[in-house]
Structures are given as structure tokens and as C-alpha cells.
Amino acid sequence: AQSVTQLGSHVSVSEGALVLLRCNYSSSVPPYLFWYVQYPNQGLQLLLKYTSAATLVKGINGFEAEFKKSETSFHLTKPSAHMSDAAEYFCAVSDSNYQLIWGAGTKLIIKP
């Protein structure tokens, strides 16, 4: 069965610092991987997705993620954090039944 692990329920960075949110997956088939962001009291918005094309995927709001098969990872990064990036971030893998299997989420806290 596929699963997703997000390291760290909370990550705190200073404004302007590098953002790194970790996601590891387990999958017996080539995975399709997604990062979503959720702002308070809102639904989820797609940041980016990997669908077996380029391993470095660029998303919205300056985020990008790199698919590393050997490490079964799909970590999300942004070079310089902004206060508006404060939100909860979810990594997900799509299984063969079209379900999204979700990680537990990581709350990103931006310190001024």
C-alpha cells in the first residue's frame, strides 16, 4: 500500500530564509506526487505535481520540488520565505484507484 510521510508537523523559518518541507513516499508503482497548500479556513490549493516528466517541478508562489526516486523523496523548497507563505502544506501520492493518499501535513511558521 502506498503511504506518505512528512517529517515535522511544524517547521519554523525566518522571513527570507530557505524553506524546506520534507516528504517521503512508499509506492510499488511509479508515483504521481502532489504538494498542496491550505490557508486557514480554506480548502486546498495545488502548488505543484510530479507526473513522471521532469524531476524538478516548479510550482506557484516560487515553490519547487525535486523527485528523487533513489531516496523516495519529493521535498518542497522555496529559496526565500515570505510572511504570506505561512500555511499548512500537504504532500500526497495518487494511487491506481485515483485516490490521493495524504501526508499528515506540515505547518509552516514564518518568523519576522
- Of 14, 24, 38, the closest CA to residue 89 belongs to 38
Among the listed ranges 18-26, 59-67, 76-84, 102-110, the one in contact with other proteins (CB under 8 A) is 102-110
Build a one-symbol-per-residue string for 81-100: x at contacts with other proteins by CB under 8 A, - elsewhere: ---------x---xxxxxxx
Q: Cβ closer to other proteins: 73 or 106?
A: 106
Q: Is residue 107 part of the contact set for other proteins (CB under 8 A)?
A: no
Q: Cβ closer to other proteins: 42 or 84?
A: 42
Cα separation, 72 vs 89, whole angstroms: 18
Residues with Cβ within 8 Å of 46's Cβ and at least 6 positions away in sequence, in order, are: 34, 35, 36, 59, 60
